[in-house]
Amino acid sequence: MATESDGVGFRSKRGPILIALMLSSGLVAIDATIVATAVPSIVHEIGGFASFPWLFSAYLLAQAVSVPVYAKLSDMAGRKPIILTGIGLFLIGSILCGLAWSMPALIAFRVVQGLGAGAVLPVAITIAGDIYTLAERAKVQGYLASVWATSSVVGPTLGGVFASLGVWRGIFLVNIPLCLVAAWMLVQKFQENIERVKHHVDYLGAVLLTVTLTLTILGALEGGQAWAWDSPISIAVFALGAVLLVAFVLVERRAAEPVLPPWVVSRRLLATTALISFGAGAIVLGLTSYVPTFLQGALSVSPLAAGLSLAALTIGWPISASQSGRFYLRIGFRATALIGITVTLIGSAALAVTAYTPNLVLVAGSCFVAGLGLGLLATPSLIAAQSSVEWHERGVVTGTNLFARSIGSSLGVAVFGAVANAIYAGSPGGGKNSQAVVLASAAVFLAVLVSAALTVIAVFAMPDTAPEAPAPQGKGPARLLQKVRRLNGRDGGP
């Protein structure tokens, strides 16, 4: 349950916990970008150029598939042991990566890091939902989102510094003190009272879910890259994933405490907010993956300038996320999300329309607008989902929402990559042809716009959670929470 309000910020009573959550999230955020600029140095020392893309795929895959399992465990055993386990795994993985002697070893150790990250991010957001009130959560999400904005700049820069100094191993070893500080602060400052009861761990469901998700995401990441979409291996991967998904559903219907309870997808609010998160994931990855390539290939700008233009997206997100509480407490979650998706559509449309006449300022401005929209879209939908359930269900709900975003990102990258590669394949010089880059990027930005348009459907399907009447001062969040639960079928509603 949220504690009594004493303000949101570093100087409040909960400030040390907020700092620890930001630091923990920062570990995951920075590691998602810091490796990219050091790849040439890594390959030069330990080789394995053909395999280096797996440095990213293995990490993201391990992170994505483990999120639902950790989320369920946090509802059973408490948040603290799970997030500390995640930080511990991330620490061990970082040390091993710093000591890696070959590319296969480094890839394997990145999996360990990813397994740690899979616990850290969803549980950190769940803790924020536990200790802050409904009115405070938007501002807290702004703090957490600002970590990603900072990391989008700090990560590549720090990676470049270590690479230029010839000490690429430092990009992993720098995590050691950060992990230790985050863990120490959580141990010292975060206390939770857990009712100790006997649980029935759904081991079979966890294994089936993990393997199913691994195959699905693997097929999406590698389809059109490592193998053709219509190749036997691609068909086999997706077919086996589908069979195991059916087996997982059958197991979950009989499990005493299923790792992914059926009610997560049967409740309208939770299903629609997960679809919104899916769409947001596709939009974000579509922009972050292709805006830098577009600017460098079409305008020959420096990687730094391209990165800063993209950073406008991650700057706009926390600004609007931190202010979204002012909207949803007045007009409700769905109306706020509608404003968010509308602004996102405007930013995406601006990119798609101006792609054929590349301009650095226009691209940065469009990314900033899209970021503002995503902050008003993703944050209220996540908070609506969290606020509709009790403590013992909040971990699963948060994990499902973030997992949907990961799946959206993975499938989005696969689809956008297929679109871009088809254009490159039909152009002389492929990706080295500036005109081909413009055409491919324009097609991807149009696909991003379509993704945003499809997300509108999920937003309209989301239950209307606006307060029915003005509440007395201090009662607004409680009144809104009551209605959210009623519309979600928890208080006698439909």
- Of 56-65, 171-180, 337-346, 436-445, the one with minimum mean pLDDT is 56-65
Is residue 104 within 8 Å of residue 51, measured between CB atoms?
A: yes
Q: What is the pLDDT of residue 493?
A: 32
Range 119-140 average pLDDT = 87
Range 171-184 average pLDDT = 92
Range 378-400 average pLDDT = 88
Q: What is the pLDDT of residue 105?
A: 92
Higher pLDDT, 472 or 13: 13
| Confidence category of residue 65, pLDDT binned at 50, 70, 90 | confident
| Confidence category of residue 130, pLDDT binned at 50, 70, 90 | confident
Range 202-216 average pLDDT = 84
Q: What is the pLDDT of residue 468?
A: 37
Range 164-184 average pLDDT = 89
| Confidence category of residue 216, pLDDT binned at 50, 70, 90 | confident
Q: What is the pLDDT of residue 324?
A: 86
Render pLDDT for 21-53 as a digit per residue (tens, 0 to 9): 999 888 888 887 777 667 778 888 888 766 677
Is residue 384 within 8 Å of residue 340, measured between CB atoms?
A: no
Range 15-25 average pLDDT = 89
pTM of the model: 0.81
Instruction: Enter the tokens of residue 409.
Output: 């990102």
Q: Closest by alpha carbon to 282, among 170, 386, 405, 387?
A: 405
Render pLDDT for 106-117 as a digit per residue (tens, 0 to 9): 999 999 999 999
- Of 224-233, 304-313, 390-399, 461-470, the one with minimum mean pLDDT is 461-470
Range 6-29 average pLDDT = 83
Alpha-carbon distance 277 to 262, whole Å? 18
- Of 1-5, 59-63, 69-73, 143-147, the one with minimum mean pLDDT is 1-5
Q: What is the pLDDT of residue 64?
A: 83
Q: What is the pLDDT of residue 197?
A: 65
Alpha-carbon distance 394 to 204, whole Å? 22
Render pLDDT for 320-329 as a digit per residue (tens, 0 to 9): 888 888 888 8
| Confidence category of residue 87, pLDDT binned at 50, 70, 90 | very high
Q: What is the pLDDT of residue 196?
A: 66
- Portion of the chain with pLDDT greater than 70, in percent: 88
Residue 91 pLDDT > 90, yes or no?
Answer: yes
| Confidence category of residue 303, pLDDT binned at 50, 70, 90 | low
Higher pLDDT, 491 or 266: 266
Higher pLDDT, 308 or 251: 251
Mean pLDDT over all residues of the chain? 82
Residue 474 pLDDT > 60, yes or no?
Answer: no
